[in-house]
Amino acid sequence: MRRATGYRCVAEIVLAIGTSHTPILTLPGSEWHNRAAADLRNPRLTLEDGTVLNYEELVARNGEPYGDVATVPMFNQIAYRCQQHLDRLAAEIERAAPDIVIVIGDDQSELYRPGNMPAIAIYWGQDVVTHSYDDEIPDWMKTVAKGYAMDETHVFPGHPDFALELIHGLMDRDVDLAVCNEVKDPQNAGFGHAFGFPVERLFGERSIPIIPVLLNTYYPPNVMSAARCHDVGEALRQVIEQSPSDYRVAVLASGGLSHFVVEEGLDRRLMDNLSGGRDILRSIPREALLEGSSEILNWIMTAGVASGLALQWSAYEPIRRTPAGTGIGVAFAYWSK
């Protein structure tokens, strides 16, 4: 609602953002060892070629070359840089002053359940209600839960009218969607960390309506390909830009990058092609996008939406929590005109 009288009212994409949402972004570096302990127990550590193995098998394959970086002093340095990166994204949201933020994230058995998981869904309800963690969790997880808006039930504003425009526009462009418009029992099922984290960390005191786009990235067999995600992103851009609604719209990718083994080559293939690398993004194979690394699909879809904007800034932090290199590739970026 900011255009001068006499101009045709159309929606405008004013900003696109990508941010990781790993638990360690809510914790000081001195607490990252808790996530490292989970890596040691994880039986499904995945590599870029699709290999699945446990920690002992990873050590047997690659050794333990990262002992000098998997230390608390290094963690503290990286944690400080990551918070600076997040502050930069928060400042860009404040500068762009969007009326609506479309959040593209994955659902991890929070609203939907494996076996009843749509490939893609759009939420068009008035209230976006989070699901909370159980009370019996360790103290460090309570810190994570607060950063995720999952310490208790939180209610964020949705935007039903514009969400319906997106649904109709995408359906008209042959994008078949699941939809939902109500969270009936948030103690049983509600929105999770992919949506709570960016609101809590990046919105500040601003109450900005969000429209959740939920991708199934984790749970085969109905995970979309990288090519399909990028194509849907481009279709979403067309719907937004052709909307007669006079809104300033931001789009935000939540999640990623590679985990729970840091595959820096895969991560940099994404980061190096966020601007103008359409064919490369569309060609990332399924076997590279298993388990947590599947959240890269959220970024690929957002890159499709942002194809009319310029990539202004990006940052990448390969965080290896153990000597064998388990951890996560953490990334941040924004596009604008």
pLDDT tens digit string along 257-311? 999 999 999 999 999 999 999 999 999 999 999 999 999 999 999 999 999 999 9
- Which amino acid is residue 126, in one-letter code? Q
H/E run at residue 201: helix 193-202
What pLDDT was estimated at residue 135? 77
User: What does 229-286 look like in DSSP terms, one character per residue?
Assistant: HHHHHHHHHHHHHT--S--EEEEEEE--SSEEE--HHHHHHHHTTTTT-HHHHHT--G
Chain position carrying tokens 């851009």: 237
- CA-closest candidate to residue 105, choices 219, 211, 264, 246: 211
Q: Is the full-model pTM beyond 0.85?
A: yes
Chain position carrying tokens 């092609």: 273
- Which segments of the chain have a pLDDT < 70? 1-8
36 within 8 A of 67, measured Cβ to Cβ = no
Structure tokens belonging to residue 21: 């949402």
Which residues have C-beta within 8 Å of that of residue 99, sequence separation ≥ 6? 1, 208, 209, 247, 248, 249
User: What does 135-193 look like in DSSP terms, one character per residue?
Assistant: S---HHHHHHHHHTT-SS--EEE--HHHHHHHHHHHHHTT---EEE---S-TTTS-B-H
pLDDT tens digit string along 222-242? 999 999 999 999 999 999 999
299 within 8 A of 81, measured Cβ to Cβ = no
Structure tokens belonging to residue 39: 């890596």
3-state helix, strand, coil in the chain (%, to 5): 40, 20, 40
- CA-closest candidate to residue 257, choices 309, 305, 175, 319: 319
What pLDDT was estimated at residue 133? 87
Degrees, nearest 5: CA angle 301-318-297: 15
What pLDDT was estimated at residue 134? 80
What pLDDT was estimated at residue 210? 98
What pLDDT was estimated at residue 7? 52
Taken in order of first residue, the domains within the chain and their CATH numbers are 12-336 (3.40.830.10)
- Which amino acid is residue 204, in one-letter code? G
